[in-house]
Every structure is written in structure tokens, then in C-alpha cells.
Amino acid sequence: MHIRTFRAASLQDALETIRHQMGADASVLHTRQVRDGWMGWLGRTYVEVTAGLRDGDESAEPGPTFDEDADELTDCAALPIRSVYLKNEASLPGPLESYRDQLMEFGVAPRTADRWLQATESFTAGLGDSIGEPWMEHLQRSITRELRIGGPIRTQPGAKHIVALVGPTGVGKTTTIAKLAAGFRIQERRRVGLVTIDTFRIAAVQQLEAYAEIMDLPMEVVEKPSQMQPAIERLGDVDLVLVDTAGRSPSSDARIDQLVELLRTAQPDETHLVMAATSSASTIRSVLKGFAPAHPTAAILTKLDEASSTAGVLSAITASDDFAGIPLSYLTHGQQVPDDIQVAEAEPLLKRLLPGTLTREQMDAA
């Protein structure tokens, strides 16, 4: 077999080159995204595709095939380039084609990018010359249809409502707990109690204790499951209990099992998975998979102000054929307590879809 590797700005460009140089009978053997530059930094992202062409009329042997949702290829029969190319061959309007390359550059899987863009084209097809709005706004609307907004935490006076925050290290869970506590204490005038089981980081406990003292909130520290219910009872007659947990790696099964056991004893009414908007699509998918045993009911996206693009994150959390999506409850966009938090809505996320994204209102204001 004759094997060659091609690198291009997009998958479609690579397939076009392979088809011209090796013919339609070539098979895709491997595909991945790569970044040039020093150790992957300060460089551009490319799609690298390895293709093979058999000599003569030998029958095909088992080999890897192209999976549009994966960074690598799965072990199945090799797929001829003509079959792969036909999936991406439908032409898109110029602006949408350029968006496809940008979406993939920021980690959106080809299949997801195509779904978004084809939905956008279908929506605009019936508008004809009356489109009237930038293509980006139509693309944002297409993504909005897949985005789940779950709404904020809701409490009732006199009914103890327990909410736990879980997630990986460094995403801002403790600061988010403080923002939520301040909002419910000051704005909603609810009685709030705090529980922390982040005993792995003494500084985190001290940080939460400082917030509790400033806001005059009861707080309990729990080190093992048997202490959880007594701690919640000592908080007294509160309306809302916010449970802060230690950051855990989604790939650490043992640590996740410990978290699940603590949550089982806490019996939260809601469990919010905290993730950073600055994370890559692959990282978000890993977090969703790793924390699935904790049965999160909603997600909080933090550090929105630091995210250069939300395309990858949105591609990981929105609904698709094989994923129901996860509802968003809150967004945070800074370190200020209690100011830099808001109930989740689509507009702030889509405003940062790609670098330089502008809505019509922003263009008019400029």
C-alpha cells in the first residue's frame, strides 16, 4: 500500500488534496488535529490526514475508518476517499465555509460544525434576498436551538434546599459558592448555610470561612461521610445549604467514588458541575464523562471573561444525536463577589463564539 500524510487548514481541504493527488480510491487511515510552533504553542491548528492507496485490485483488509466526532480513527474497514469526501462535498455560502474552518480550529468536531452550518443554511434558504442580518447571527440562532438553559437555583422560605457544587480543580468552585451565597443572602433575603468538604486545601477552607464571617453565615467543615448529616443539622433552620467540594480529576476513579459517597450522605436536591469556559472541547467532554457518577443536574460555566472563544465549549455541552446536553444554571465572568455572576442565558456565550464575533446591535453601537 502507498501511504502519504497530508496537512491542510481544514478537513475538506485535506480531502480535496488527497482526491486530486491519490485518486478517489484512496482510503483515509488516520486523522488528527495538530498545532505547529514551539511545543504546540504560538502556532496554527491544522488537520493532518493519512491516506493509503492499494496497488492493484487487492481486496480491502481491516483498518481504521474516519469518525467525524473523534480526534482519532476507529478500528473498522478502511473508507474510500470518495465516500468520505461526499459527506463534506455540499457547498456552503462563503461566510459559512469560513466559519467552518474557524469552528474546527477551536475544537469543534467536523460533524458538529457541519450540523450547525447546515441548520443555518436551511434556515436562511427560505429567506432569499430578505436575509437582512449577518450570517453570524443566523449561526448563533442555530446553536441556541441546541443549548439548554436550566434556570437558577430556586428556594422557598422554611424549606431547606441543598445544593452541591462539584468539578475539577481550578475552575472557581469556592468563589462561585461565595457569589451564590451572597446573592441569596443579600438579594433574595434567604437564610444560607455553608458546608465545605474541601479539606485537601486548607487555604480553600480558610477562604470560605472568611466569606462566611463577612456575610454572617453559619459554616461547617466535613471530613468524612458520617459527619455530613450532623453538620447539615447544626446549620439550623436555613433555607439554602451550599456544599463546596474538593476539586477532583475526572480521570481519578477513586477520588470520584469518594465524592459520590459524600454526596450520597448529603442528599443534595441539586448538583451543579462547575467548568471553566476557557477549557477545550475535549477537556469539557472529559469532565462530563468523569463526573457523570455524581449525576449533575446542571452546569455552571466560569471564567467567561477569560475565554477567547466559546465554540469548543458549546460544542461539548449542547444537545446532539447521542447526547442530551446539560442545562446551564449560571455564568461567572470575574472574581468580584457577589457581582460577577449571572443566571445563564445564551447571549453572553454566543457573543464569544469566535474571536471578533459581533451582533447587529454591537455593530450598530460601534
Residue 83: inside a domain: yes
Q: Distance (Å, rounded) from C-alpha 287 to C-alpha 301?
A: 12
Query: Number of folded domains in the chain?
Result: 3
Q: Which residues, in sequence order, are bridge partners of residue 300? A: 274, 330
Together in a domain, 218 and 321: yes
Q: Are 268 and 186 in contact (CB under 8 A)?
A: no
Together in a domain, 75 and 98: no
Residue 77: inside a domain: yes
pTM: 0.73
237 CB-side CA count, 13 A: 2
Residue range 118-155, pLDDT digits in tens: 888 877 765 554 455 578 888 999 899 999 999 999 99
Together in a domain, 181 and 324: yes
Residues 6+ apart with CB under 8 A from 129: none
Together in a domain, 180 and 308: yes
Residue 172: inside a domain: yes
Together in a domain, 170 and 302: yes
pLDDT value at position 326? 94
Residue 276 amino acid letter: A
* DSSP codes, 46-74: EEEEEEEE-STTPPPPEEEE--TT-SS-E
Q: 259 is in which domain, residue-wise?
A: 161-351
Together in a domain, 123 and 244: no
Residue 245: inside a domain: yes
Together in a domain, 179 and 327: yes
Together in a domain, 26 and 107: no
Among residues 266, 263, 323, 314, the alpha carbon closest in space to that of 289 is found at 323
Residue 362: inside a domain: no
Together in a domain, 232 and 297: yes
Indicate if the alpha-carbon torsion angle 232, 234, 240, 244 is positive or negative: negative
Together in a domain, 110 and 217: no
Residue range 248-278, pLDDT digits in tens: 777 777 888 989 999 999 999 999 999 999 9
> Could you tell me the CA-to-CA distances from 102 to 66, 212, 271, 353 in Å, in that order?
21, 44, 34, 10
